[in-house]
Amino acid sequence: MSVALESRAPVRPAPAPPRRRQARVNRPNALYLLPALVFFGLFAAFPLVLVLYLSFTDWNGIGTPGFVGVDNWVRMFENEAIWDVTSTTLLLTGLCWVTQTPLSILLGVWAAGAQRNRAVLSALFFLPLLLSTAAIALLYNRLFDPYVGIGRGFEPLRNILGTTSGALTAIVIVVGWQFIPFHTLLYQAAARNIPKVLYDAAYIDGAGGWHQFWYITLPQLKNTIITSSTIMIVGSLTYFETIFLLTNGGPAASTRTLPLEMYFRSFRSYEFGYASTIASVLVIVATAISLLIVRFSGFGKMRSTLEGL
């Protein structure tokens, strides 16, 4: 028996693959990235470079642009009306974030539960996501009309689009009605991923519903809040269709934002060079805000809220 065991050949491990071949297998194939890079270059990078170039020219849309250096930039920063438009843009952005974020969180957490008729109500609530922005703006424009809309029978809303505060309120309502469902979806998905064991442990310790929401749900939704806020703020800086069709920048240019000013300068005054300067500023501001949110929120570390579970 011992002789038979000793004569048996030892089992040798399988030879490791050559290093060169292993590196070739693990190396990502650049060809897979080529379609995305081409798409980004044609529809994002090239238009941005072209707009930046036009911001240093004087062009009416016809003929060859004439290079004027930094004249458009100096003109923009010396124009007091631009500062009013910028403040209106930032005010509208802040109002949209303040109103949409709390409602989206509450609705998202509710939609993640198991309430009766939750699925049906959620489906009805998400319907605005299927409608176009132009159709929604035209619908509310008629709804706020003082002669045929709700203002006809309800006096406080009769002239809602005729005052500065009323027009801003109307824009916030319309934008929120359309985009709150989108952010609700984000919070619904995040709330469903929160481990139930956290709530069970809190319930055993005597924590009520409010304490569970404040000390468990909100901290677990931190990364989603940062993502949603970034999308919301950057999107608010570029609102155009809703404001254009709802108020057209009025009354008395009180709701004129940077995208609307860019449109008026380019397609009404035919100052495409100056309009390109406004567009470049919008890109710079939106990018800076996004980077600041990522930098000071700690979102760049991408640490999971489920670590240790």
pLDDT band at 1 (very low <50, low <70, confident <90, very high): very low
What are 2-36's pLDDT values in tens digits? 444 444 555 565 555 555 554 454 455 678 888 88
- The Cα-based distances of 208 to 115, 197, 220 in angstroms read 18, 15, 17
Structural domains of the chain, ranges and CATH numbers in brackets = 66-301 (1.10.3720.10)
pLDDT at 278: 95
pLDDT at 147: 83
In this model, does residue 136 exceed pLDDT 60?
A: yes
pLDDT band at 155 (very low <50, low <70, confident <90, very high): confident
What are 165-197's pLDDT values in tens digits? 999 999 999 999 999 999 999 999 999 999 999
Q: Which two tokens stand for residue 226?
A: 């940062």
Sequence-separated (6 or more) residues with CB below 8 Å from residue 250? 161, 167
In this model, does residue 299 exceed pLDDT 70?
A: no
- Helix 118-125 vs helix 80-111: angle between axes, to the nearest 10 degrees? 160
In this model, does residue 157 exceed pLDDT 70?
A: yes
What are 95-111's pLDDT values in tens digits? 999 999 999 999 999 98
Residue 57 backbone phi and psi in degrees, to 5: -130, 170
